[in-house]
Amino acid sequence: MASSHIILPKEEEEEAAAAAVAEVGLGAAVEADHDHRPYQEQGPGKAALPFSATCVRISRDSYPNLRALRNASTMTLHDDDAAFVKLEEGDYGYVLDDVPHLTDYLPDLPTFPNPLQDHPAYSTVKQYFVNADDTVPEKVVVQKNSPRGVHFRRAGPRQRVYFESEEAKACIVTCGGLCPGLNTVIRELVCGLSHMYNVSNVFGIQNGYKGFYSSNYLPMTPKSVNDIHKRGGTVLGTSRGGHDTKKIVDNIQDRGINQVFIIGGDGTQKGAYEIYKEIRRRGLQVAVAGIPKTIDNDIAVIDKSFGFDTAVEEAQRAINAAHVEASSAENGIGLVKLMGRYSGFIAMYATLASRDVDCCLIPESPFYLEGEGGLFEYIDRRLKENNHTVIVVAEGAGQDLIAQSIPAADQQDASGNKLLLDVGLWLTHKIKDYCKSKKMEMTIKYIDPTYMIRAIPSNASDNVYCTLLAHSAIHGAMAGYSFTVGMVNGRHAYIPFHRVTSTRNKVRITDRMWARLLSSTNQPSFLSQKDIDAAREADKAANRMKSREDAKKQSTPVLANGEK
């Protein structure tokens, strides 16, 4: 299969790379799994090119592989990301969106046999190591004539590693809000490094990013983390903000850390990306592995984030309590506010699982209160039919309506997130005022279980998922990659940082899952025809753009070295 594997080098390597290519040309592709030297072998009498000379930096607007990436995904590639993008294009529209590797800027690093090949636990495994060319498709449903699209490097142990066990020195940090499963991930990182790779130097960074330069590093052993998965929260502590890239990397360098495991949401992963960039600029042999965490399940690309299953399960308790309260009173209303700043996944899945919910409100689907087809009319109808009603609302829903009645300053927290007004409390008062105006007796109970859900230990499903994420992160870091790890279409993969930070996963109200919810609750969609048409037009526009780019790509032949 003819393919082009292009690694875009640093700015300072640009002139040398261009000169070298002009002199000798660009040859064979870089070996896919970095098990061998990542530069092209030259023929007799020719000096071997430096690694930077086998790479070509080409404008992101003219380079066909970057266009292919934009064809195959809805991601917008920023200019500052283009310098770190690694793409391999193959037949039938195949595009590998690869992750950075130590040999991208340190080409002469020695490799070592993976200790797992002598591990008794793996002695019965049919295949110790993943194949070098194994990839995971971003889109699993395709049509007969569809291009193969974007793929990611498959996670798992590699035959060769770039850190000797006794020389490896790892650190772990948790940032942002709490989430079920944080302690499980910490435990499995410590135990996995120790038990699988014989790494004895593992440290915990306390209280988030600022702990790199403001706290002592906490030594961690399998014994010290043995039962932490039974507790909620994080034993390392967490915080928002505090990200000073230079100070963080200074401390990583001074302490001799060569593997950094960062657990946090999209803002935290952006910080991990900046740390990687600074590490690369300094030429340090340090791998950065991000493990995405968000209870809202709004991380792009991945199937789901850890803690989500636990959150949905625990949300059932709050919904059940609201249902009991509502059904036990005349004209009883139970109102439950669940997490979901920008994405309503918890509210949607908890509603579908409960079957006791009459109405679910999420940020992606606008709603209105008064008039025909509005929320008040629907509540009135359900009370007359059932004598009670249960409403679930995501915390980010209805913020535009609240802003119309409660002017508020545009404030942000330390992570840069907009501070939201309490939609549950606001909606409670609005419903009370409506019923009072109708001279309708009613009882409303408002339940906000947000911090209860965030603080509990993870359930069995999430514990298993956390273990797999931690092990995949360890395998990738030992193999020299820097990445965010996640499950894509049921397979664990290494995903470039910019892919999980450039967009946000949201509920698509034009998809069947939202239609299933509307069918289950029998609630109105609250969407005007204008809203529906706008959502459909947005989908059509994205498809038209993709089709045009596909046609342009098919009409432009691409040589093995990426040139037209």
Number of H helices, E strands in the chain: 17, 18
Give the C-alpha separation, 289 to 272, whole Å. Answer: 8
265 assigned binding-site residue: yes
501 assigned binding-site residue: no
158 assigned binding-site residue: no
Tokens 């002469």 found at? 108
For residues 110 and 161, is the Cβ–Cβ distance under 8 A? Answer: no
37 assigned binding-site residue: no
267 assigned binding-site residue: yes
Q: Which of 392, 450, 483, 406 shows the shortest CA–CA distance to 155?
A: 483
Phi-psi region of 301 (alpha: psi -120 to 50; beta: other; left: phi over 0): left
Give the C-alpha separation, 157 to 184, whole Å. Answer: 21
Give the C-alpha separation, 518 to 515, whole Å. Answer: 5
As to burial, measured by CB atoms within 10 angstroms (0-12 exposed, 13-18 middle, 19+ buried), residue 312 is buried
186 assigned binding-site residue: no
536 assigned binding-site residue: no
Active site residue 380: no
Summarize the chain as % helix, strand, coil (round to 5). 40, 15, 45
Q: What is the helix (H) or strand (E) element at residue 88, kind and residue range?
A: strand 86-89
281 assigned binding-site residue: no
241 assigned binding-site residue: yes
Query: Is 492 in a helix, a strand, or coil?
Result: strand
452 assigned binding-site residue: yes
454 assigned binding-site residue: yes
395 assigned binding-site residue: yes
Q: What is the DSSP string of 397-420?
A: TTHHHHHHHS-----B-TTSPBPP
C-alpha 336, offset from chain centre: 27
204 assigned binding-site residue: no
Tokens 């959502």 found at? 535
Instruction: Copy the structure tokens of residue 331.
Output: 């004209």
480 assigned binding-site residue: no
Give the C-alpha separation, 36 to 55, whole Å. Answer: 17
Instruction: Copy the structure tokens of residue 504.
Output: 């946000």
Which amino acid would we find at residue 458? S
Give the C-alpha separation, 164 to 113, whole Å. Answer: 9
Considering the candidates 81, 98, 104, 296, report the single residue annotated as catalytic: 296
Give the C-alpha separation, 29 to 90, whole Å. Answer: 12
Query: Is 144 in a helix, a strand, or coil?
Result: coil
Annotated binding site for ATP: 177, 240-241, 265-268
Annotated binding site for Mg(2+): 266
Annotated binding site for substrate: 294-296, 339-341, 395, 451-454
- Catalytic residues, by residue number, are 296
Annotated binding site: 177, 240-241, 265-268, 294-296, 339-341, 395, 451-454
